[in-house]
Amino acid sequence: MKSLPQPRKMPRQARSQHMVETILEATARVLAERGYAGTNTNVVAERAGVSVGSVYQYFPNKDSLITALHERHASQMYAVVDKVLDGAGAGGLRARLADMVRALLEAHRVEPELHKVLEKEFPFFDAPHDESPADHSFFRRVRELLETHAGEIAPRDRDLATWIVLRTLETLVHAAVIDAPARFSTEDIEQNIVDVLAGYLMPGAPRAA
Amino acid sequence: MKSLPQPRKMPRQARSQHMVETILEATARVLAERGYAGTNTNVVAERAGVSVGSVYQYFPNKDSLITALHERHASQMYAVVDKVLDGAGAGGLRARLADMVRALLEAHRVEPELHKVLEKEFPFFDAPHDESPADHSFFRRVRELLETHAGEIAPRDRDLATWIVLRTLETLVHAAVIDAPARFSTEDIEQNIVDVLAGYLMPGAPRAA
Amino acid sequence: MKSLPQPRKMPRQARSQHMVETILEATARVLAERGYAGTNTNVVAERAGVSVGSVYQYFPNKDSLITALHERHASQMYAVVDKVLDGAGAGGLRARLADMVRALLEAHRVEPELHKVLEKEFPFFDAPHDESPADHSFFRRVRELLETHAGEIAPRDRDLATWIVLRTLETLVHAAVIDAPARFSTEDIEQNIVDVLAGYLMPGAPRAA
Amino acid sequence: MKSLPQPRKMPRQARSQHMVETILEATARVLAERGYAGTNTNVVAERAGVSVGSVYQYFPNKDSLITALHERHASQMYAVVDKVLDGAGAGGLRARLADMVRALLEAHRVEPELHKVLEKEFPFFDAPHDESPADHSFFRRVRELLETHAGEIAPRDRDLATWIVLRTLETLVHAAVIDAPARFSTEDIEQNIVDVLAGYLMPGAPRAA
DNA sequence: CATGAATGAGTATTCATTCAT
DNA sequence: TATGAATGAATACTCATTCAT
């Protein structure tokens, strides 16, 4: 089981930072347009307007490109959720869950094509969920949320509950964006995802319209 | 979006049937041991004790091997669920859901390595869920289950509910087998998956121990 | 330099004769439609409605198929010329040459596609012109023609003259059918081919309209 | 009908130029020694002392190698003829034709083996004569020659005459090098080729010894 | 640091040919 | 004889990676 490929170096200079960004952007575009099979370092380099050598200056190998993209995605998603939870609107846990679901769905609808490949290709890499820093943060944040509403939720093992929630949230959001038959309306799907989570955490609670 | 690769010929004779089986078995083993990247037609053939030519006699290309494996997996999982639901034990919807979850978890624990790769690689192919016959059957079966218990369930759109249940069931079962941190006990996970489904379908219902 | 592949056996029975014909026909069609690269024994067999094994019963290898086709073509062309020369019309050598050219052009226009590939692929096989029986006959026939008109022709070495005539005739007829720019009329081409041959053999003779 | 394969990149730098040359030389040698069937990109690369990748850096596919070789051959032949015609010796059209024939025969005798395969394989590619730049130049040059001697020649359609001359010249020269039975002397063949062309263009003119 | 020409191991796929039935 | 499933050597082409400039 190979470990998560890491960027070769932590680029500190602005120029390098920019280079990394450019390469990652190119990777995203190529990946979105041509899928994993059609993506190769030479094309990425060309698309980034950079030489292959430069790509290898910052990424030790091809897979690290994808991994980095994933990490970026995870960070972005975490940021989205973080912001929404910080925004601490009114209402109880259900409202918070609804906020998260809506925010994530929105975020995913920005570049559906990219997320599509990202989701599709992710499992391709032996990157267990718990090796990503962003995923850790995500886990912690949700866990905190459950703690905060400890009184309202049914599951005993809060750790397990967090894990279940994350897994479910992830799949359903992705499925909604990628897979969902056209006959299901966006609102209904959103609603139902919330229902799944709320139903699990607060079985007795009344279900909103 | 390319359509599902189909076996090149429908083997009717026993000899051919056997050949297809052998090849598929070999594919499964190789896939489980070496992952997608490490799997190639020549190795599969060798492992099957068969010539490459024979592989291509029955499968038009490499991907069709994986696709066929998936279809087989889907069929098996459907069979498992079908049997369990036919076995119509006592109890309401919750009992049925519990039966399904337990049966699926058991089935997946037989060849965890294979299911791992299968799950990991599946999205890799542009095979939307609804192109697989087995998936169709699965959908129909679950939908019937919901119809049968129409009185007990909350979600209005039964089609959507079926979709949500399937997606959730699939991920959580796979996650349980592949991803789950060791600190979660098998029983707890199982219990919680049922809670997710039951909580969604029957929000008010009492949660069993 | 490999020698001309020969049909494995001289089939005497009607059934076999028919089989050989069928296979050769199929080869011709496949060759005409898909070119040499696209032609393979399995396709030929299928097209002939026969098993590959049967093909190998009568032809030792793939190339022998093409060779046989060539021999058939050569025979046919010889037959055409033979007939025309036997028909001994009025006029001198020029008339005879004109007869040959016209007959050959007509014959080639029947299945231009096939002749195209045949001509294209012929040199591909190490089959020098003088190994084909039909080519021998052809040579003899033309040589006789020159002997008959010995008094009218300029070239001293009648053997060489025959060779030159044959080479020229062959290319120009093929070029006329395959290559000729559309702006040249059929009649003009025909006329000019005759002029080439007549001009060579009877330099001083008046050129007909 | 596929178009002429083109070199993948137009090499401008000396290094690349050299690489292309090396590869082409190797192709020629391999082709001459093993024929088309025996020629494959890996062998060519090896023979060129270069990696396969480099071959593909400059030639998009195998066929483009052969095509490039042909073009080179055509250019060389054109250069030879061009030089000879520029050398404008004394004498009329017949002398010019004789010059061309002699020059071409000489040129072909340098690497007979290569020209053999080249000629043999040429038709194999769907490269009509008129797609090659060199062939165009050749056509133009010969056409000019005929114009220059317009007063002496019999054929009305000078375009057609050029075409006929080229076709005939090409075949007979190649036949002379490749096919000619040993019993024909080089000089006799040369003489007769000139006779064919001169007899066609200037039917009445006296035939030199 | 950036470049991009060069590398060459790796792989999917084809197809002539055989031979057990 | 006819069949056609099975064989497996052969080969075009790709692409991650390196390294001299």
pLDDT digits (tens, 9 = 90+) for D169-203: 998 998 998 889 999 999 999 999 999 999 999 99
Residue in C119, C157, C200 closest to D188 by CB: C157
d(CA A87, CA C31): 74
Residue A7 forms part of a structural domain: no
Closest nucleotide to the alpha carbon of B55, via C1': F6
**CA distances in angstroms from B55 to B30, B74, C46, C136, listed in the order given:** 14, 22, 21, 48
Q: Inspect the interface and report whether the beta carbons of A184 and B123 lie closer than 8 Å.
A: no
Distance of CA B183 to the CA centre of its chain: 25
d(CA C201, CA C139): 16
C176 falls in which pLDDT band (50, 70, 90)?
very high
pLDDT tens-digit readout, C53-107? 999 999 999 989 988 998 888 899 999 999 999 987 788 999 999 999 999 999 9
Residues D179, D81 share a domain: yes
Q: Which of residues 20-59 of A touch strand E (CB under 7 A)?
A: 42, 50-54, 56-57
Residues D97, D20 share a domain: no
Please report the pLDDT score of residue A179 as a whole number. Answer: 82
What's the token pair of residue D175?
């036949």
Separation of B182 CA and F16 C1' (Å): 36
Q: Mutate which of A195, A202, A207 to test chain B, going by most B C-beta atoms within 10 A?
A: A195
Q: One-letter amino acid identity for A144?
A: E
Q: Which residues contact D96 (CB under 8 A, 6 or more apart)?
A: D85, D89, D145, D149
Q: Is the pLDDT confidence value at B157 over 70?
A: yes
Residue C113 forms part of a structural domain: yes
Q: Which residues contact A37 (CB under 8 A, 6 or more apart)?
A: none
d(CA D176, CA D172): 6
Q: What is the mean pLDDT of chain A?
A: 86
- Give the total number of structural domains in chain B: 1
Residue D206 forms part of a structural domain: no
Please report the pLDDT score of residue A70 as a whole number. Answer: 86
Phi, psi of C61 (to 5 degrees): -165, 175
The residue assigned the tokens 């919750």 is: B94
Cα distance from A8 to chain B (closest Cα, Å)?
23
Residues D152, D84 share a domain: yes
D8 touches strand F (CB under 7 A): no
Give the angle D150-D154-D157 at the CA atoms, nearest 5°.
75
What's the token pair of residue D130?
């008129």
Residues D178, D94 share a domain: yes
B87 falls in which pLDDT band (50, 70, 90)?
confident
Ranges of H-type helices in C87-179:
93-110, 112-121, 133-148, 158-178
Q: Tell me which residue of A42, A46, A47, A41 sits closest to A64, measured CA to CA.
A: A41
Q: Inspect the interface and report whether the beta carbons of A155 and B192 lie closer than 8 Å.
A: yes
B6 falls in which pLDDT band (50, 70, 90)?
low
CATH number of the domain that D29 lies in?
1.10.10.60
Domain extent for B75:
14-201
Give whichever of A59-68, C153-162, D126-135 has the largest mean pLDDT: C153-162
Residues D15, D45 share a domain: yes
Please report the pLDDT score of residue D38 as a whole number. Answer: 86
Residues of chain B in contact with residue A199, where contact means CB-CB under 8 angstroms, are 196, 198-201, 203
Q: Is the pLDDT confidence value at D116 over 80?
A: no
**Number of neighbouring beta carbons within 10 Å of residue B184:** 16
Q: Inspect the interface and report whether the beta carbons of B160 and A120 lie closer than 8 Å.
A: no
Separation of A12 CA and E4 C1' (Å): 26
Residue D98 CB-density burial (10 A; 0-12 exposed, 13-18 middle, 19+ buried): buried
CATH number of the domain that D89 lies in?
1.10.357.10
Length of chain C: 209
Residues D77, D157 share a domain: yes
Residues D55, D90 share a domain: no
Q: What chain D residue is nearest to C125 in terms of C-alpha separation?
A: D120
Residue A131 forms part of a structural domain: yes
What's the token pair of residue C172?
């120009």
Q: Which of residues 109-168 of A touch strand F (CB under 7 A)?
A: none
d(CA C125, CA D207): 37
Residue D207 forms part of a structural domain: no
Of A160-174, C187-201, D111-125, give the lowest mean pLDDT range: D111-125
Q: Which residues contact D183 (CB under 8 A, 6 or more apart)?
A: C159
Residue C5 forms part of a structural domain: no
Residue A8 forms part of a structural domain: no
Q: Mutate which of C135, C169, C195, C201 to test chain D, going by most D C-beta atoms within 10 A?
A: C195
**Long-range CB contacts (within 8 A, 24+) of A154-157:** A154/A200, A154/A201, A154/A202, A154/A203, A154/A204, A154/B195, A154/B207, A155/A200, A155/A201, A155/B192, A155/B195, A157/B184, A157/B188, A157/B192
d(CA B189, CA B160): 25
Question: Within 13 A of A91's CA, how many CA atoms are on the CB side?
Answer: 11
Q: Is the pLDDT confidence value at C125 over 70?
A: no
H-helix or E-strand spanning residue B41: helix B41-48
Residues of chain A in contact with residue B201, where contact means CB-CB under 8 angstroms, are 199
Q: Tell me which residue of B1, B106, B101, B116 sits closest to B69, measured CA to CA.
A: B116
Radius of gyration of chain B (CA): 19
Please report the pLDDT score of residue A1 as a whole number. Answer: 34
Kindly tell me whether chain D and chain B come into contact, counting contact as 3+ Cβ pairs under 8 Å. Answer: no
d(CA C77, CA C112): 14
Phi, psi of B182 (to 5 degrees): -60, -25
The residue assigned the tokens 């490749």 is: D178
C141 touches strand E (CB under 7 A): no
Residue A2 forms part of a structural domain: no
